[in-house]
Amino acid sequence: MANNSTTMEKIVALCKRRGFVFQSSEIYGGIGGFWDYGPLGVELKRNVKEAWWRDMVSGHDETAVPAGAPAKYGMVGLDTTIIMHPQVWKASGHFDLFYDLFVDCRTCKARFRADQIQDSQCPRKPSLHPGEHAECDLTEPREFNLMFKTNIGALLDPSAEAYLRPETAQGIFVNFKNVLSSSRVKVPFGIAQIGKSFRNEITPRNFTFRSREFEQMEIEFFCSPEASQAWYSYWRDGRLAWYTALGLGSDKLRLREHGPEERAHYSCGTADIEYAFPFLPAGEFGELEGVSHRSDFDLRSHMEGKLIREGDALVVERNEHGQPKHPGSGKDLSYFDDTTQTKYVPHVIEPSAGADRATLAFLCEAYDEDAIPDEKGVPQERIVLRLHPRLAPIKAAVFPLVKKDGQPEIASEIYRTLKQRWNVFYDEKSSIGKRYRRQDESGTPFCITVDHQTMDDGTVTVRDRDTTEQIRIKQTEIEAWLAERL
Ligand code: GAP
């Protein structure tokens, strides 16, 4: 569990030193808001995504009612494109409304998010906020659409303009009918997707927390209007429990239900799952995932066109000629429920998580410093990543104690056997203490060492990363022993 001395500087330094995260294009000076995952980072993030996919989609049992769920339900996946028909973003509302307000300083030409002025520094005098220096000359707040624009094909005119998706969700909504007609799912069911999203954030910051290119893990869960509140509660509580089960079980994790004034105009309920990241002041939390009850807003938008709220109703926004301002597809996205013999536009519950933010939270939570005795019994400070074994990039490391007496041969044999099932690591360089500490910093839960006794009785030592305790088990039992714990 992360201790109080965990700082962002320490996390960033560890990420660079051990190959979790690097700045993108670093040899050219880097590029703001873009990050690369190194050899350990790619394994960690893949494990986060695979745990999510396994727990939400491929491992879901649709023949039973899960604890806390109102009914049985189906889950399927999708992998849709990053660039979609531009009308998708007009009907969804992103074209008109997906913006942040920014202000420019006419003197120093710096740009700030209007709602982050009090968290930003004046480039001329970093102890002051923008606007506080005598020479600051800030503009009025202006809108800045966060979608990255690109062109399709050789034409550069507006008809060829397209956008990199700012969320994976819309790829799911526009495929709702395809999924219904091609698979055997029935409402209630969810469609899941993991993929890259892009937002031209005005001020990317806090390491990977606010990036311009990031990955989302989103579920759009389709249900009847009557059952939607019960499903909202199920997903909100279930998603919180998922983070807890993977190690964010401390007081650093919380669920925050939005008040009506904070919710989007179409939402009947929104909660954020938040984590107290070390870059935040004490008592503040940052969003890991939003769980939202989106009513029938999304499917109706793609049927009828961009919707706005008028009183209690969602109605199509019209232009000066009375036509839909941004028309939808005109396709019927309603659902005929053959158990109740009713037709309706399904309501949507959306648990929307960020793979990079989850990875960062697991890293922050896992970071710890303690002192353990070295070979001579002298306490040595160590950095240890107490990652959940499912998330650990390397599941076990295999060492020969010395590079002779047949030990490397036996250790290699163990390594080769385990490698068929897990990402394991072989190391015979430097002292055993250094090898252990390297693995502690990488978050490897178990280190297996072949020593002199192995040659006599066929046992090896297995060292536990968290307790540093060592036990002896038979070489022939290692695989089963690990399988029980990973
Ligand atoms: N479809 C709903 C949606 O996209 P969101 O709250 O804007 O909702 C969902 O994004 C999640 O995506 C966030 O909770 C966060 O984990 C992640 N996310 C959003 N913007 C991000 C950014 N600039 N950098 C990293 N992750 C981001």
pLDDT digits (tens, 9 = 90+) for 380-404: 899 999 999 999 999 999 999 999 9
Distance of CA 98 from the midpoint of ligand 1 (Å): 13
Taking 90 as the threshold, does the pLDDT of residue 159 lie above it? Answer: no
- Asked whether 48 lines ligand 1 (CB < 6 A), one says no
pLDDT digits (tens, 9 = 90+) for 343-370: 999 999 999 999 999 999 999 999 999 9
pLDDT digits (tens, 9 = 90+) for 411-463: 999 999 999 999 999 999 999 999 999 999 999 999 999 999 999 999 999 99
Confidence of residue 170 (pLDDT cuts 50, 70, 90): very high
Task: Determine which helix (DSSP H) or strand (DSSP E) holds 229, and give its type and residue range.
Answer: helix 228-245
Confidence of residue 88 (pLDDT cuts 50, 70, 90): very high
Q: What share of the chain is helix, strand, coil (3-state, %, to 5)?
A: 30, 30, 40
The residue contributing the CA closest to ligand 1 atom 18 is 354
Closest CA to 362 of 249, 248, 210: 248
Q: What stretches of 388-477 show up as alpha helix (H) in DSSP?
A: 407-419, 432-442, 452-457
pLDDT at site 436: 95
pLDDT digits (tens, 9 = 90+) for 102-151: 999 999 998 898 988 998 899 999 999 999 999 999 999 999 999 999 99
Nearest atom in ligand 1 to the alpha carbon of residue 199 is: 23
pLDDT at site 377: 84
Task: Determine which helix (DSSP H) or strand (DSSP E) holds 472, and give its type and residue range.
Answer: strand 470-474
Q: Kindly report the number of other CB atoms within 10 A of residue 426's CB atom.
A: 16
pLDDT digits (tens, 9 = 90+) for 240-288: 999 999 999 779 999 999 998 888 888 889 999 999 999 999 999 999 9
Confidence of residue 4 (pLDDT cuts 50, 70, 90): low
Q: Is 362:246 a contact under the CB 8 Å cutoff?
A: yes
- Asked whether 100 lines ligand 1 (CB < 6 A), one says no
| E strands present in 294-451 | 307-310, 313-316, 335-337, 342-344, 347-354, 367-373, 379-385, 396-400, 424-426, 446-450
- Asked whether 353 lines ligand 1 (CB < 6 A), one says yes
Q: In 3-state terms, what secondary structure has residue 98?
A: coil
- Asked whether 214 lines ligand 1 (CB < 6 A), one says yes
pLDDT at site 184: 86
Distance of CA 197 from the midpoint of ligand 1 (Å): 9
Rounded average pLDDT over 293-311: 96
- Asked whether 211 lines ligand 1 (CB < 6 A), one says yes
CA distance 365 to 359: 10
CA distance 147 to 95: 8
Mean pLDDT of the chain: 95
Per the model's pLDDT, the better-predicted residue between 52 and 379 turns out to be 52
Specify whether the backbone of 207 is left (phi greater than 0), alpha (psi in -120 to 50) or beta.
left
pLDDT at site 1: 47
Per the model's pLDDT, the better-predicted residue between 373 and 61 turns out to be 61
The residue contributing the CA closest to ligand 1 atom 25 is 210
